């Protein structure tokens, strides 16, 4: 049996991580792996999460299962964080998942069960796992234009032209905020135009929101998602707590199915429960419980919001510093887009050869398509990166 299996291609980002570890140079910069890092290069446990963990250790008296959809308190807290008062709570079915990736996979599974012929429209570029999961599930994938390589902004006209081909039964996958890998986001006005187009086509939007709070603010980053949920009859939302709560290894996510029809909502909740049962039975609870405690405790929540703001402003400061340093070195404003992008990532616009030159000459590691994690920098390494970019001829 095993002789029939074929070796799968290695994950490029994991390969990049390994290459970085094996590089003996002291002066090297990791801009590849997609996790938040502080100025010391650590991914710290957030203050409110650490406090909640200490409290949970004292009060938790059982490790029994919660439920197929996870703890209802977690779902309630996350629905409020994500959607606010955009839709009534009873319009939302929700199930805890192993991370945002688990939510994405369950969302695709729900789509496939509803319509085997569904086409999933995916931004070009997008998070590689979107493509990998869809390919593994043998679902029909249709790319839509999103990133303008010249302006480093959203190719909105191309996007609208492409997703206009979606029809009833199809799904259009959107990034809620802080687009990965480009950092280029839709404006409020563009979100509304997308909504109006989806109303015409009848396609269902699925929103992947993994960086709420890392762009312009917790509410600001959720604005597009809330607009979609409020105005369209059916919406899928895959959410992750890995970044904004820092609980990466706890695998804490949530899949939401919004349906303004009560009967459909009940069916959706049953389907989410069913999918959890088939794939991993009960979802993990530790990270979800910590997130719930933080969101429900006023003191912990205030501290968490303050720390998210610190992270957001710190990454934005690095963006602004890098853009300014590049302007100084090149006497050009062609890198100003770095300060305009939001979230942890930006696509620099370098060729694979230029990316390789930066790695060889300067010990700078980024994905071959020139996606870089801005949180991998600090104020001292920004000038090093800027010089490497110029020296590589970007």
Residue 33 is predicted with a pLDDT of 82
- Domain count within the chain: 2
Q: Please check whether residues 202 and 77 belong to one and the same domain.
A: yes
135: annotated active-site residue? no
Catalytic residue among 208, 221, 285, 369: 208
243: annotated active-site residue? yes
Answer yes or no: is 351 within a domain. Answer: yes
Domain limit, last residue, from 245, 280, 296: 296
Q: Whose CA is closest to 341, among 363, 323, 367?
A: 323
Q: Please check whether residues 379 and 281 belong to one and the same domain.
A: no
Residue 313 is predicted with a pLDDT of 97
- Whole-angstrom distance, CA of residue 343 vs CA of residue 211: 7
Catalytic residue among 77, 103, 118, 127: 127
Q: Please check whether residues 220 and 360 belong to one and the same domain.
A: no
Residue 250 DSSP symbol: G
- Beta-bridge mates of residue 171: 120, 204
57: annotated active-site residue? no
Q: Please check whether residues 241 and 327 belong to one and the same domain.
A: no
Instruction: Answer whether residue 51 shows pLDDT above 90.
Output: yes
Q: Please check whether residues 259 and 339 belong to one and the same domain.
A: no
Percent of the chain at pLDDT exceeding 70: 100
Q: What is the pLDDT of residues 263-274, one digit of tens each?
A: 899 999 999 999
Domain limit, last residue, from 268, 296, 324: 296
Residue 385: what are its φ and ψ, rounded to 5°?
A: -65, -45
Peptide bond into 125 cis (omega under 30): yes
Residue 282: what are its φ and ψ, rounded to 5°?
A: -95, 135
Residue 290 is predicted with a pLDDT of 98
Answer yes or no: is 16 within a domain. Answer: yes
Answer yes or no: is 58 within a domain. Answer: no
Q: Whose CA is closest to 244, among 272, 226, 222?
A: 222
Answer yes or no: is 265 within a domain. Answer: yes
Answer yes or no: is 384 within a domain. Answer: yes
Instruction: Answer whether residue 10 shows pLDDT above 90.
Output: no
Answer yes or no: is 53 within a domain. Answer: no
Q: What is the pLDDT of residues 67-107, one digit of tens each?
A: 999 999 999 999 999 999 999 999 999 999 999 999 999 99
Q: Please check whether residues 148 and 267 belong to one and the same domain.
A: yes
Q: Please check whether residues 192 and 329 belong to one and the same domain.
A: no
Average of per-residue pLDDT values in the chain: 96
Catalytic residue among 210, 288, 323, 386: 210
Residue 138: what are its φ and ψ, rounded to 5°?
A: 55, 40
CATH code of the domain in which 40 resides:
3.90.1150.10
Longest dimension (CA), the chain: 63
196: annotated active-site residue? no
Structure confidence at residue 15 as a pLDDT band (50, 70, 90)? confident
Q: Quick one: 25 exposed, middle or buried, by C-beta within 10 A (0-12, 13-18, 19+)?
A: exposed
Q: Please check whether residues 280 and 143 belong to one and the same domain.
A: yes
Residue 261 is predicted with a pLDDT of 87
Domain limit, last residue, from 248, 270, 296: 296
Question: Other C-beta atoms within 10 Å of 27: how many?
Answer: 10
Q: Please check whether residues 77 and 39 belong to one and the same domain.
A: no
Can you give the pTM of this predicted structure?
A: 0.96
Catalytic residue among 243, 304, 323, 357: 243
Instruction: Answer whether residue 118 shows pLDDT above 90.
Output: yes
Residue 80 is predicted with a pLDDT of 98
Q: What is the pLDDT of residues 207-244, one digit of tens each?
A: 999 999 999 999 999 999 999 999 999 999 999 999 99
Q: Whose CA is closest to 320, among 348, 341, 297, 304?
A: 341
Q: What angle do CA 272, 97, 76 make, to 5 degrees?
A: 75
Answer yes or no: is 238 within a domain. Answer: yes
- Whole-angstrom distance, CA of residue 15 vs CA of residue 27: 20
CATH code of the domain in which 71 resides:
3.40.640.10
Q: Is residue 304 within 8 Å of 53, Cβ to Cβ? A: no
Count how many residues are written for the chain: 394
Answer yes or no: is 52 within a domain. Answer: no
Joined together, the tokens standing for residue 77 give 């807290």
Joined together, the tokens standing for residue 52 give 């909640």
Boundaries of domain holding 112? 65-296
Q: Please check whether residues 281 and 356 belong to one and the same domain.
A: no
Q: Please check whether residues 292 and 320 belong to one and the same domain.
A: no
Residue 266 is predicted with a pLDDT of 93
Q: Please check whether residues 25 and 115 belong to one and the same domain.
A: no
Query: How many Cα atoms are found within 13 Å in the side-chain-facing hemisphere of 10?
Result: 8
């Amino acid at each position: 049996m095993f002789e029939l299996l074929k070796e799968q291609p290695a994950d490029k980002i994991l390969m990049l991580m390994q290459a970085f570890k094996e590089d003996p140079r002291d002066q090297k910069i990791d801009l590849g792996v997609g996790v938040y890092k502080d100025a010391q290069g650590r991914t710290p446990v957030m203050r409110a999460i650490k406090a909640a963990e200490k409290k949970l250790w004292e009060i938790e008296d059982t490790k029994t299962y919660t439920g197929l959809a996870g703890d209802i308190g977690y779902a309630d807290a996350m629905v409020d964080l994500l959607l606010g008062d955009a839709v009534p709570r009873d319009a939302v079915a929700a199930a805890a998942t192993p991370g945002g990736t688990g939510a994405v996979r369950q969302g695709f599974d729900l789509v496939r069960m509803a319509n085997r012929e569904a086409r999933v429209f995916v931004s070009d570029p997008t998070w590689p796992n979107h493509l990998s999961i869809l390919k593994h599930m043998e679902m029909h994938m249709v790319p839509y234009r999103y990133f303008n390589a010249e302006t480093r902004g959203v190719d909105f006209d191309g996007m609208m032209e492409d997703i206009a081909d979606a029809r009833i039964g199809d799904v259009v996958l959107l990034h809620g905020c802080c687009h990965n890998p480009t950092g280029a986001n839709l404006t409020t006005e563009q979100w509304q135009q997308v909504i109006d187009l989806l109303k015409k086509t009848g396609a269902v939007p699925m929103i992947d929101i993994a960086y709420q709070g890392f762009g312009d603010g917790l509410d600001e980053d959720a604005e597009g998602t809330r607009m979609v949920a409020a105005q369209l009859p059916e919406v899928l939302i895959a959410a992750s707590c890995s970044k904004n709560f820092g609980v990466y290894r706890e695998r804490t996510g949530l899949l939401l199915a919004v349906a303004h029809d009560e009967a459909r909502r009940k069916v959706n909740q049953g389907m989410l429960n069913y999918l959890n049962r088939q794939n991993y039975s009960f979802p993990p609870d530790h990270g979800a419980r910590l997130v719930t405690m933080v969101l429900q405790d006023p003191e912990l929540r205030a501290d968490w919001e303050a720390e998210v703001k610190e992270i957001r402003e710190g990454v934005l400061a690095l963006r602004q510093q890098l853009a300014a340093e590049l302007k100084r070195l090149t006497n050009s404003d062609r890198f100003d887009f770095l300060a305009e992008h939001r979230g942890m990532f930006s696509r620099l616009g370098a060729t694979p050869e230029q990316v390789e030159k930066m790695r060889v000459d300067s010990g700078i590691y980024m994905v071959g398509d020139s996606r870089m994690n801005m949180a991998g920098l600090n104020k001292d390494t920004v000038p090093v990166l800027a010089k490497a970019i110029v020296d590589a001829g970007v």
